[in-house]
C-alpha cells in the first residue's frame, strides 16, 4: 500500500461475508483463521480463506488474517504451521498481538499490529514500526492531535519501511484500552486477550461513592455508544491515517454490506475532491440500496475522543439497540397496539422489530407478527408476537422506536452491489483478421484474435453502432466498458457468435494478466541492531505469555518482565481495566468540571467509587493527570485455583549486575 492510498478495511465473520465486503467496496478484509484469532466464534478454515483471497485479489483487494491472541509456549509451533498454511493460501498479512511470533520461523508475510497491542504513544508506534510491523492500528481513544503526533514520529511517508496508520472508524467500542482488560479472566477464567471476553462492560451496575451513597442505580456505566467517524474522515486523513477500519467480526452480512458501502461512498467523495489521494484497490461500486448506518444494530453513535472528551459517549440506559423513533401509542387492545407514526408515509411491515422504554428506562422489545394500516394519515394497528400482558408500561403516549426494518433486511438479502473495473476496448483490423485488446484501469491488457477474411457490412450506417454495442456487453465479468475504439478499414460485419467468442477470449486473457500481476505485500525488515523498547520494565499489562515473547522484549532492552495476567501471578488487587472513559466525568462528578463553579469548587474530589453487580464488586480509581480511570479488582479464588493457562514465570526484578 502506497502512502497516498486510502484503504477501507472491512470485517468478515466468514468467507461469504468477506466476499460481499469486497463487492461493496472494501480495499481489504480482515478475517479469523481456524485458531488464534481474538474472536472465538469467528473461526474459518484455510480453504475458505483461500477462496476469499482469490476473489479479493481479482480487484487488488487484500486479505488480512487475525492471529492476535496471546499464545502459550505449546501454541507457538501450531501458530507457525498455521501462518505458513495461510501464506500458501494467498493471505496478504497477519494481524498479531503476541511479539513472540516475531521470534519464530514465520513465512515472508507482512505483519500488522493488532488493536490489542495498545498503541497510544508516538514512542510505541515508532518502536513497532522499527521492529518490523508494516501497519499499526491506533487506540480508539486518541484525539486528532495525538494521531498527528504519532504520524510525525514515524518519519517521512515515503520512507522505506514506513508503517501505515490504521484507525477504527465504525462499530462497537470496548471501554478499556484494547489489550488492557482482565475483568473477564479475573471473574470467569475466560481471557479477552485469548479471544473469549465475557463482556462485563455491558452489565448494569450500582455505583456508590466513597461514603457508600448510591450515585447511579442499575446503569450500564461501562457500556459505550458505538463508534461513528463519518463526519471526521477528512480530519483523520489529514492527521495521517491511511487505513479506515470497520469493527465487526461477529456482525452479520447486512451490517457488513451496509457499513462498507456507507464508508465507500464517503471515501470516494473525498477521493474526488483530492486527486493527490487514490484508492488502494481497483474498480467502482454501484449500490442497489441507500447505505444508512442507522439501519443496523447500534447503541446510538459517538465519535468518542477524536474531537476531545465529551459527556455523551455512554450507552448507560441499555446495551441493546434502541432504534429510531417512528411514532407513539394511541391505544392498546387485547392483542394489538395502535400507533400514530410521526410521518404518514412510514410503512410498518410484518416482522418489524419495535421497542420502547419502560418507566425504569429498560428497553422492551415488541416484535410484530402482523401490521395493518388503519388510515392514510399514518395510523397503524400492529399485532405483537408475544401476549400483551407481558409488555410492561405500554400505554397511550409511549414513544415507539423501530430497531429492525424487515423491508430493509430483505433488500440486503438480495444482490445489493456490483463492483466493476473500468476497461478500454480496441478492435483492430489486421492482415489476418481482427484483434481485440481490452486494457483495464490498472494498465493490464488481454488480447484475442479472430482470423479470416472480413465481410463488408450490408448496412454501413448501423455497422459501427452494432459492433460497439456487442463489444460493450461485458455482462457478469469484472469489467465495465469506458470506451470502445474501432480501427477498421471500413464498415464491417462480424457474426455475433464470433464477436462474443473474441470478447470472451480477450476477457479471460485480461483476467489472467491481472492474476499474474498480483504480488505480495513486502515484509518490513526490523531495524538492526534492534532498537530499545520505550520502557525497560514490563508489568502484567504487557501480556507476555510465552518465552519467545520474553526473548523479544529482552532483545529490545527490557530488563524486568512480568508474566501476563493469565499466568495467575497477580493474586492481589490490580487494575483489571484501564479506560479513557471516566464514570465521574459522565456523572458530572469530576473535579475538573467543578473547577471555577461557585459553591462547588474544591468540594468535589476524585475519591474512589464502587461498582456492584450482584456479588461482583469492583473499585473505580481515578488518575486525573492522564485523565484515566482504573477498574480495580482481584482474581477469584476459583479461577486462581484452576490450573493457569500457561505456567510461566519471568524475571520480576532486575537481574543482578555481574561483579
**DSSP states along 586-633:** HTT--HHHHTT-TTTTTT-----EEEEETTEEEEEEEETTTTEEEEEE
Q: What distance in Å separates the CA atoms of residue 255 and residue 270, rounded to the nearest whole number?
A: 23
Report how far apart, in Å, the C-alpha atoms of 626 and of each of 578, 598, 623, 630, 654 are: 11, 26, 6, 11, 27
Task: Dump pLDDT digits (tens) for 171-197.
Answer: 999 999 999 999 999 999 999 999 889
Check residue 460 and give its pLDDT. 86
Report how far apart, in Å, the C-alpha atoms of 641 and of each of 189, 567, 568, 635 are: 10, 12, 9, 10
β-pairing, 214-219 vs 284-287, is unpaired
**pLDDT at residue 645 greater than cutoff 60:** no
**3-state DSSP call for residue 22?**
helix
Query: Which stretch of DSSP H or E encloses residue 264?
Result: helix 253-273
Check residue 43 and give its pLDDT. 87
Q: What distance in Å separates the CA atoms of residue 440 and residue 610, rounded to the nearest whole number?
A: 62
Check residue 68 and give its pLDDT. 94
Q: What distance in Å separates the CA atoms of residue 68 and residue 114, rounded to the nearest whole number?
A: 6
Q: Is 638 exposed, middle or buried (0-12, 13-18, 19+ CB in 10 A)?
A: exposed
Report whether 17 contacts 256 (CB < 8 A): yes
Q: What distance in Å separates the CA atoms of residue 43 and residue 333, rounded to the nearest whole number?
A: 47
Task: Dump pLDDT digits (tens) for 190-238.
Answer: 999 998 898 999 999 999 999 999 999 999 999 999 999 999 999 999 9
Task: Dump pLDDT digits (tens) for 495-541.
Answer: 999 999 999 999 999 999 999 999 999 999 999 999 999 999 999 99
Band the pLDDT of 41: cuts 50, 70, 90: confident
Check residue 650 and give its pLDDT. 72
**3-state DSSP call for residue 437?**
strand
Instruction: Give the pLDDT mean for 235-251.
Output: 96
On average, the pLDDT of the chain sits at 94
Check residue 639 and give its pLDDT. 92
Check residue 601 and give its pLDDT. 54
Check residue 44 and give its pLDDT. 93
Q: What distance in Å separates the CA atoms of residue 589 and residue 597, rounded to the nearest whole number?
A: 12
CA atoms within 13 A on the CB side of 540: 21
Check residue 230 and give its pLDDT. 98
Amino acid at each position: 500500500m502506497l502512502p497516498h492510498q486510502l484503504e477501507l478495511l472491512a470485517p468478515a465473520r466468514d468467507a461469504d461475508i468477506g466476499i460481499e465486503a469486497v463487492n461493496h467496496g472494501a480495499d481489504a478484509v480482515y478475517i479469523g483463521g481456524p485458531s488464534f484469532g481474538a474472536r472465538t466464534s469467528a473461526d474459518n478454515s484455510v480453504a475458505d480463506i483461500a477462496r476469499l483471497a482469490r476473489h479479493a485479489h481479482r480487484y487488488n483487494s487484500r486479505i488480512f488474517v487475525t492471529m492476535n491472541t496471546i499464545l502459550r509456549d505449546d501454541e507457538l509451533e501450531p501458530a507457525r504451521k498455521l501462518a505458513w498454511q495461510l501464506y500458501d493460501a494467498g493471505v496478504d498479512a497477519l494481524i498479531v498481538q503476541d511479539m513472540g511470533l516475531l521470534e519464530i520461523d514465520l513465512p515472508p508475510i507482512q505483519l500488522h499490529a493488532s488493536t490489542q497491542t495498545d498503541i497510544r504513544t508516538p514512542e510505541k508506534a515508532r518502536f513497532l514500526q522499527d521492529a518490523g510491523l508494516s501497519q499499526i492500528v491506533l487506540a480508539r481513544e486518541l484525539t486528532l492531535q495525538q494521531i498527528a503526533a504519532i504520524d510525525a514520529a514515524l518519519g517521512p511517508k515515503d520512507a522505506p519501511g514506513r508503517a501505515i496508520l490504521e484507525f477504527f472508524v465504525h462499530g462497537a467500542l470496548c471501554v478499556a484500552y484494547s489489550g488492557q482488560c482482565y475483568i473477564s479472566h479475573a471473574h470467569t477464567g475466560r481471557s479477552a486477550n485469548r479471544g473469549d471476553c465475557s463482556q462485563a462492560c455491558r452489565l448494569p451496575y450500582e455505583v456508590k461513592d466513597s461514603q457508600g451513597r448510591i450515585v447511579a442505580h442499575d446503569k450500564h456505566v461501562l457500556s459505550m455508544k458505538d463508534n461513528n467517524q463519518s463526519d471526521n474522515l477528512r480530519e483523520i486523513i489529514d492527521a495521517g491515517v491511511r487505513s479506515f477500519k470497520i469493527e465487526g467480526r461477529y456482525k452479520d452480512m447486512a451490517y457488513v454490506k451496509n457499513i462498507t458501502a456507507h464508508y465507500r461512498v464517503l471515501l470516494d467523495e473525498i477521493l474526488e475532491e483530492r486527486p493527490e489521494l487514490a484508492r488502494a484497490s481497483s474498480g467502482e461500486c454501484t449500490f442497489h440500496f441507500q447505505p444508512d448506518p442507522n439501519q443496523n444494530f447500534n447503541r446510538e453513535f459517538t465519535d468518542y475522543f477524536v474531537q476531545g472528551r465529551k459527556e455523551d459517549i455512554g450507552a448507560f440506559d441499555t446495551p441493546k439497540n434502541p432504534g429510531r423513533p417512528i411514532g407513539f401509542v394511541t391505544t392498546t387492545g387485547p392483542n394489538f397496539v395502535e400507533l400514530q407514526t410521526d410521518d404518514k408515509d412510514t410503512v410498518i411491515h410484518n416482522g418489524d422489530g419495535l421497542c420502547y422504554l419502560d418507566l425504569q428506562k429498560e428497553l422492551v422489545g415488541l416484535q410484530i407478527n402482523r401490521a395493518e394500516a388503519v388510515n392514510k394519515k399514518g395510523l397503524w394497528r400492529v399485532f405483537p408476537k408475544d401476549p400483551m400482558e407481558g409488555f410492561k408500561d405500554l400505554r397511550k403516549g409511549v414513544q415507539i422506536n423501530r430497531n429492525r426494518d424487515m423491508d430493509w433486511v430483505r433488500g440486503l438479502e438480495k444482490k445489493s452491489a456490483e463492483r466493476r473495473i473500468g476497461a478500454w476496448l480496441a478492435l483492430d483490423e489486421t492482415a489476418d483478421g481482427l484483434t481485440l485488446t481490452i486494457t483495464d484501469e490498472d494498465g493490464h491488457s488481454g488480447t484475442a484474435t479472430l482470423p479470416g477474411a472480413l465481410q463488408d457490412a450490408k448496412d454501413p450506417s448501423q455497422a459501427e453502432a452494432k459492433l460497439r454495442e456487442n463489444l460493450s456487453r461485458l455482462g457478469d465479468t469484472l469489467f465495465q466498458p469506458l470506451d470502445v475504439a474501432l480501427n477498421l478499414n471500413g464498415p464491417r460485419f462480424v457474426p455475433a457468435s464470433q464477436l462474443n467468442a473474441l470478447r470472451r477470449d480477450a476477457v479471460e486473457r485480461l483476467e489472467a494478466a491481472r492474476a499474474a500481476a498480483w504480488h505480495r505485500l513486502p515484509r518490513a525488515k526490523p531495524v538492526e541492531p534492534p532498537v530499545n523498547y520505550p520502557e525497560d520494565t514490563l508489568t502484567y499489562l504487557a501480556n507476555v505469555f510465552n518465552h519467545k515473547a520474553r526473548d523479544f522484549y529482552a532483545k529490545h532492552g527490557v530488563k524486568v518482565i512480568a508474566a501476563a495476567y493469565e499466568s495467575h501471578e497477580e493474586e492481589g488487587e490490580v487494575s483489571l481495566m484501564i479506560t479513557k472513559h471516566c464514570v465521574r466525568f459522565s456523572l458530572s462528578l469530576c473535579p475538573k468540571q467543578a473547577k471555577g463553579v461557585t459553591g462547588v469548587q474544591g468540594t468535589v474530589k476524585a475519591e474512589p467509587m464502587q461498582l456492584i453487580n450482584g456479588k461482583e464488586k469492583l473499585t473505580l480509581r481515578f488518575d486525573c493527570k492522564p485523565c484515566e480511570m482504573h477498574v480495580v479488582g482481584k482474581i477469584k479464588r476459583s479461577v486462581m485455583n484452576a490450573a493457569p493457562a500457561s505456567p510461566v514465570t519471568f524475571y520480576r526484578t532486575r537481574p543482578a549486575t555481574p561483579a
